[in-house]
Chains A and B, each alone.
Chain A
């Protein structure tokens, strides 16, 4: 079971590994959410959803269901 963006803990940084392109809005991809880019979880909203991310320098928030579609790998793997 690969790890997804939704499994990160606050403060953790990872590398975007892969995602099903149909699952994501174009806007997110354009903001830099692309395989190979760094992503960090900065904050969680109350009740753990949405997630506040730093995606290769862009600060943005997405919902947990979207985050769960993005597979990530550890920084040094």
Chain B
């Protein structure tokens, strides 16, 4: 059997590239990451005519080979590196029929790399409505390639595309633009120094800041330094190059592309006037947000409760049913709850991405970015920071990944650093149990007081994120001019297939990313909680038997509580008690804080163990917590200590998975370390002030 063909799908954002990918590969695709960075790598297999098979790689959307964001770097890096195992035998450039001119810019660049490049003109179903007609035969002659008119929406033209891919060897690799036209002198001298290499590739190596180019450039400069020019000289040439490319494209389109403007409808204009209106724009955005929150916190509670109960039952079953050589306690108390702690967030994450992918597919998200930019800029953020901040209410991990399309490094960094302040869903169970304990279930001005407090804490999270952004904005130096260029795509009806695949993909990457950490932590905690250094731990059974008879129904619980107190975890809790006393907490809360340092959601579970009740008996937990007293007999959970604890959870960086993702995205330990220290300090001081203020 012959070797599989490597196919790279390339195209501008918003051209329906992913839809084409989904049609080519069906469900036969997998998502991974490019090494070292979290940019998603989507690839899949595709069967072509005459028994040929192709490996399709869906590259991140980019406007050109001049990369300005992490996503775009991936494309340039691959196209320059012939030795990469993913280097394409044939490139498929996906364009959209309405923005063909701009899309062709990237086409000419790829073609100039001497890679066979097929042109896909997607969304051909819109041609008639928009008054567009294309002479594809003529276009194929002029561009020296094959053209496929495709409608991913209607599943038309995919077979033609497959046929073109299968016969890629017949395609010409003639470049569109001979690069030395731009500046004879400069490129002439370049050619003299490096006679064997393709001039256009050299040019990309000289002008791009991606890793591969940096290495290659160093080599070139070491060989001969006479070709080095100033940055502004190079940028001028880049502009000239762009002009030349557009001249070529215009000359092509003049021959084969006709647009009758009278037929174009003005739906975009009418919708834009409403959605970006200075009043209605914000009102609509607010309503959209309200719907998302309603979905995240109300609709998703049903599957979440179901998951919770199922895992609790599973754990109970495992404890009794598993043979002893399988370490049933580790499985029932460490691994299963750990697994449950991840799966429980799946409904919310899926729901969040349902909304986000719909908002993006319809084109509405760009309008939000547009109207919010001015407001966000005041805080050193960008309009593009809105999406991460909204996503942060479900989970900071996908939120931080969503910052990748912010081109300006400083704005992106600030967004990454402040996103963990937004109230993620792991804080919710902590808030819920504390609120029900310390806030009376009363109505004030017709609103439920408990609900009101919960809302205040959500606002507090956003407010803190903005405040932190404002401070960071002032202290982090600006080393790059802040640019903001957002494409405003056409409004479209979202494709169900795309939405569903996005949800599956994002949820999967969450489960894997966060899952590893939460799992490891759960096991570690279990070990620390079920082992102790001293005799008192080993003799737990005897000690407890002194006060409670073994037949007593409470014996088991008493024993567990005793064991925990004398375990390593208990010792740590007692050790930090002096530190947390001023915040209003005792050593038991100390244990809960320590154990939830790596993942907040562990808090309630730990409290359940400490107050020796089963985890699913929420009412009992509450009663026990209410009955807890300090050594002087006063209750542990008062309004002051409860609020203080909530403030602590609102601000503290208690999520290992987030730190891991920040480290990946910023490519250094520096930022996650700063984040951890500063957020913990803010949390401590905030909790201290809250406790002291409400204690008076």
Query: In the complex, which residues of chain A have a beta carbon less than 8 angstroms from the beta carbon of B373?
Result: 45, 49-50, 61, 63
Q: Residue B105 contacts which of A30, A50, A63 (CB distance < 8 angstroms)? A: A30
CA distance A71 to B388 in the complex (A): 35
- Pairwise interchain contact A21-B235, C-beta atoms closer than 8 A: yes
- Pairwise interchain contact A27-B102, C-beta atoms closer than 8 A: no
Cβ of A75 < 8 Å from any Cβ of B? no
CB distance from B98 to the nearest CB of A (A): 8
Interface residues of B in 346-367 (CB under 8 A from A): 366
- Pairwise interchain contact A30-B66, C-beta atoms closer than 8 A: yes
CB distance from B408 to the nearest CB of A (A): 10
Mask: chain B, 234-263; 1 = CB below 8 Å from A; 0 = not: 011011001100100000000000000000
Cβ of B232 < 8 Å from any Cβ of A? yes
- Pairwise interchain contact A31-B371, C-beta atoms closer than 8 A: no
CA distance A67 to B371 in the complex (A): 17
The answer to whether residues A58 and B272 also contact, given A29-B239, A45-B373, A49-B373 and a CB cut-off of 8 A, is no
- Pairwise interchain contact B485-A31, C-beta atoms closer than 8 A: yes
Query: In the complex, which residues of chain B have a beta carbon less than 8 angstroms from the beta carbon of A28?
Result: 483, 485
- Pairwise interchain contact A52-B272, C-beta atoms closer than 8 A: yes
- Pairwise interchain contact B101-A45, C-beta atoms closer than 8 A: no
Cβ of B595 < 8 Å from any Cβ of A? no
CA distance A16 to B235 in the complex (A): 19
Query: In the complex, which residues of chain A have a beta carbon less than 8 angstroms from the beta carbon of B68?
Result: 25-27
CB distance from B380 to the nearest CB of A (A): 14
Q: Which residue of B lies closest to A65 (CB)?
A: B482
Query: In the complex, which residues of chain A have a beta carbon less than 8 angstroms from the beta carbon of B371?
Result: 45-46
Cβ of B269 < 8 Å from any Cβ of A? yes
CB distance from A31 to the nearest CB of B (A): 6
Cβ of A47 < 8 Å from any Cβ of B? yes
CB distance from B378 to the nearest CB of A (A): 10
Q: Which residue of B lies closest to A64 (CB)?
A: B374
CA distance A5 to B485 in the complex (A): 15
Question: What interface size band does chain B fall in?
Answer: 35 or more
CA distance A61 to B373 in the complex (A): 10
CA distance A43 to B238 in the complex (A): 30
Q: Residue B102 contacts which of A42, A46, A58 (CB distance < 8 angstroms)? A: A58
5 extra interchain contacts, Cβ-Cβ under 8 A, other than A26-B66, A49-B374, A61-B485? A25-B485, A31-B63, A46-B371, A56-B101, A61-B486
Query: In the complex, which residues of chain B have a beta carbon less than 8 angstroms from the beta carbon of A32?
Result: 101-102, 246
- Pairwise interchain contact A66-B483, C-beta atoms closer than 8 A: yes
CB distance from B673 to the nearest CB of A (A): 32
Can you show 8 pairs from A to B with CB atoms below 8 A apart?
Answer: A25-B483, A28-B483, A31-B63, A45-B370, A47-B278, A57-B99, A61-B369, A63-B484
CB distance from A32 to the nearest CB of B (A): 6
CB distance from B332 to the nearest CB of A (A): 55
- Pairwise interchain contact B488-A60, C-beta atoms closer than 8 A: yes
- Pairwise interchain contact B485-A47, C-beta atoms closer than 8 A: no
The answer to whether residues A57 and B102 also contact, given A27-B483, A32-B246, A43-B272 and a CB cut-off of 8 A, is yes
Interface residues of B in 502-517 (CB under 8 A from A): none
- Pairwise interchain contact A52-B239, C-beta atoms closer than 8 A: no
CB distance from A6 to the nearest CB of B (A): 14
Query: In the complex, which residues of chain B have a beta carbon less than 8 angstroms from the beta carbon of A62?
Result: 484-486
- Using a CB–CB distance below 8 Å, which chain A residues touch chain B? 21-22, 25-32, 34, 42-43, 45-47, 49-50, 52, 56-63, 66
The 9 closest A-B pairs by CB, nearest first: A25-B483, A46-B278, A59-B488, A61-B486, A30-B64, A26-B66, A63-B484, A47-B374, A21-B239
- Pairwise interchain contact B235-A26, C-beta atoms closer than 8 A: yes
CA distance A25 to B273 in the complex (A): 27
The answer to whether residues A22 and B484 also contact, given A46-B374, A57-B101, A58-B102 and a CB cut-off of 8 A, is no
CB distance from A16 to the nearest CB of B (A): 12
Q: Residue A46 contacts which of B101, B246, B273, B281 (CB distance < 8 angstroms)? A: B281
CB distance from B64 to the nearest CB of A (A): 5
CB distance from B629 to the nearest CB of A (A): 54
The answer to whether residues A31 and B102 also contact, given A43-B273, A43-B276, A46-B278 and a CB cut-off of 8 A, is yes
Mask: chain B, 464-501; 1 = CB below 8 Å from A; 0 = not: 00000000000000000001111111100000000000
Q: Which residue of B lies closest to A24 (CB)?
A: B483
- Pairwise interchain contact B63-A59, C-beta atoms closer than 8 A: no
CA distance A42 to B367 in the complex (A): 13
Q: Which of A32, A46, A52 has the most CB of B within 10 A?
A: A46
CB distance from A1 to the nearest CB of B (A): 24
Cβ of B282 < 8 Å from any Cβ of A? yes
Q: Residue B489 contacts which of A22, A31, A47, A59 (CB distance < 8 angstroms)? A: A59
Cβ of B383 < 8 Å from any Cβ of A? yes
CA distance A42 to B238 in the complex (A): 28
Query: In the complex, which residues of chain B have a beta carbon less than 8 angstroms from the beta carbon of A34?
Result: 239, 242-243, 246
CB distance from B29 to the nearest CB of A (A): 29
Query: In the complex, which residues of chain B have a beta carbon less than 8 angstroms from the beta carbon of A25?
Result: 68, 407, 483, 485
- Pairwise interchain contact B487-A50, C-beta atoms closer than 8 A: no
CA distance A57 to B366 in the complex (A): 17
Q: Which residue of A lies closest to B275 (CB)?
A: A43
Q: Which residue of A lies closest to B278 (CB)?
A: A46
- Pairwise interchain contact B374-A50, C-beta atoms closer than 8 A: yes
Q: Which of B99, B102, B269, B383 has the most CB of A within 10 A?
A: B102
- Pairwise interchain contact A27-B282, C-beta atoms closer than 8 A: no
Q: Which residue of A lies closest to B490 (CB)?
A: A59
Q: Which residue of B lies closest to A48 (CB)?
A: B374
The answer to whether residues A30 and B63 also contact, given A45-B370, A57-B101 and a CB cut-off of 8 A, is yes
CA distance A37 to B68 in the complex (A): 23
The answer to whether residues A26 and B64 also contact, given A45-B276, A45-B374 and a CB cut-off of 8 A, is yes
Q: Which residue of B lies closest to A36 (CB)?
A: B243
- Pairwise interchain contact B102-A22, C-beta atoms closer than 8 A: no
CA distance A46 to B278 in the complex (A): 5
Q: Which residue of A lies closest to B277 (CB)?
A: A46
Q: Which residue of A lies closest to B373 (CB)?
A: A50
Q: Residue A42 contacts which of B269, B282, B490 (CB distance < 8 angstroms)? A: B269
Q: Which of B66, B238, B374, B383 has the most CB of A within 10 A?
A: B374
CB distance from B559 to the nearest CB of A (A): 63
CB distance from B101 to the nearest CB of A (A): 6
- Pairwise interchain contact A52-B484, C-beta atoms closer than 8 A: no
Q: Which of B63, B485, B487, B488 has the most CB of A within 10 A?
A: B485
Q: Which residue of B lies closest to A58 (CB)?
A: B102
Query: In the complex, which residues of chain A have a beta carbon less than 8 angstroms from the beta carbon of B239?
Result: 21, 29, 34
Query: In the complex, which residues of chain A have a beta carbon less than 8 angstroms from the beta carbon of B63?
Result: 27, 30-31
Q: Residue B370 contacts which of A22, A26, A52, A56 (CB distance < 8 angstroms)? A: A52
- Pairwise interchain contact B488-A52, C-beta atoms closer than 8 A: yes
CA distance A11 to B181 in the complex (A): 38
CA distance A9 to B254 in the complex (A): 31
CA distance A58 to B484 in the complex (A): 15
Query: In the complex, which residues of chain B have a beta carbon less than 8 angstroms from the beta carbon of A50?
Result: 370, 373-374, 383, 484, 486
Q: Which residue of A lies closest to B273 (CB)?
A: A43
